[in-house]
Amino acid sequence: MDDRLIKLLNCFKLSARVFQAGALCHSASFDAHDGLGYIHVLRQGTLEVKPESETDFLLNEPSLFFYLNPTSHQLLPKDENVDMVCASIHFGAELKNPLLQALPEVIILKLKDTPTLASSLELLFTEAADENCGRQAVLDRLIEIIVIQLLRDLMNKNRLQVGLLAGLADPKLAKAINTIHDEPARDWTLDSLANIAGMSRARFAAKFREIIGLTPGNYLSQWRVSVAQSLLRQGKPVQLVANEVGYGSASALSRVFAAQVGLSPSEWKKQNI
């Protein structure tokens, strides 16, 4: 199967910054208004997590939990043994990343249930415990690797039932989604996408909407706007961007862009570069 994550990673440029590595002695709070996601890896100890809009939960064994979308939450160590690594994540939340839009608010996994992450986590904890040159850069890169491995794990283990990762976990839907990601400018029809998926038109449309939560046409439109935002942020002119994402004119792109984002491409570009 083709790489199901590469276009998302290329478009939205995942980056991470580790700010906690070791004993957590005091409570810590995080505000959704900072526009960042967060990943927390608990190595040992008992930790209470208090999200602003979800039920509190308690972790008392090695675990990781992550909020890829900006979410207010608080960490409360319940004993003096809490040892953890925490990092902020930037993954295009402001660019309508379709992956983030479909994820649950928080995903929690016990480390014993993620054996494919074992080697990366061991390196992370080893680096966190030392004070070697380049430590911060190594920790940041390791967290980025772990996030990618987590996304891969969620797909390969079918841990999610709805959303983009669930769609990419389905071999037939993944073919159509990958094709949309690869060629947003192409004049896709429901029939042509169903053909690629190897499904009947009706079955493809129903299954796509059931799992992704959007019609194929709506998903294509949202992906085009997401790609347009990424290209605009690179400084590309609106007309060139319109051509690259499948709109024949800047005005055609502007209509769709404004309907989804609330600003014209030019206005959005001024605010974001």
Q: Is residue 124 part of a domain?
A: yes
Same domain, 18 and 121: yes
Same domain, 56 and 115: yes
pLDDT surpassing 80 at residue 34: yes
Q: Is residue 48 part of a domain?
A: yes
Same domain, 196 and 81: no
Same domain, 223 and 147: no
* CATH number of residue 235's parent domain: 1.10.10.60
Q: What is the mean pLDDT of residues 130-154?
A: 94
Same domain, 116 and 186: no
Residues forming a β-bridge with 57 = 49
Same domain, 80 and 188: no
Task: Please report which confidence band the pLDDT of residue 43 belongs to, taking 50, 70 and 90 as the band edges.
Answer: very high
pLDDT surpassing 90 at residue 248: no
Same domain, 143 and 12: yes
Q: How many domains does the chain have?
A: 2
Same domain, 127 and 214: no
What was the pLDDT predicted at 96?
Answer: 83
Same domain, 31 and 89: yes
Q: What is the mean pLDDT of residues 6-20?
A: 93
Q: Is residue 257 part of a domain?
A: yes
Q: Is residue 31 part of a domain?
A: yes
Same domain, 142 and 221: no
Q: Is residue 86 part of a domain?
A: yes
Q: What residue numbers bound the domain in which 262 lies?
A: 170-272
The one-letter code for the residue type at 260 is: Q
End position of a domain, from candidates 93, 123, 156:
156
* CATH number of residue 150's parent domain: 2.60.120.10
Residue 175's φ and ψ, nearest 5 degrees, are: -60, -45
For the segment 181-240, what is each residue's pLDDT rounded down to a tens digit? 999 999 999 999 999 999 999 999 999 999 999 999 999 999 999 999 999 999 999 999
Secondary structure string (H, E, C) spanning the chain: CCCCCHHHHHHHCCEEEEEEEEECCCCEEECHHHCCEEEEEEEECCEEEEECCCCCEEECCCEEEEECCCCCEEEEECCCCCEEEEEEEECCHHHCCHHHHCCCCCEEEEHHHCHHHHHHHHHHHHHHHCCCCCHHHHHHHHHHHHHHHHHHHHHHCCCCCCCHHHHHHCHHHHHHHHHHHHCCCCCCCHHHHHHHHCCCHHHHHHHHHHHHCCCHHHHHHHHHHHHHHHHHHCCCCHHHHHHHCCCCCHHHHHHHHHHHHCCCHHHHHHHHC
CA 29 to mean position of chain CA atoms: 22
Same domain, 131 and 232: no
pLDDT surpassing 70 at residue 252: yes
For the segment 77-104, what is each residue's pLDDT rounded down to a tens digit? 999 999 999 999 999 888 888 988 878 8
Task: Please report which confidence band the pLDDT of residue 51 belongs to, taking 50, 70 and 90 as the band edges.
Answer: very high
End position of a domain, from candidates 156, 190, 208:
156
What was the pLDDT predicted at 1?
Answer: 55
For the segment 102-121, what is each residue's pLDDT rounded down to a tens digit? 788 899 999 999 999 999 99
Instruction: Say which range, 62-71, 93-102, 160-169, 204-213, has the weakest mean pLDDT.
Output: 93-102
Q: Are 85 and 146 in contact (CB under 8 A)?
A: no
Same domain, 145 and 13: yes
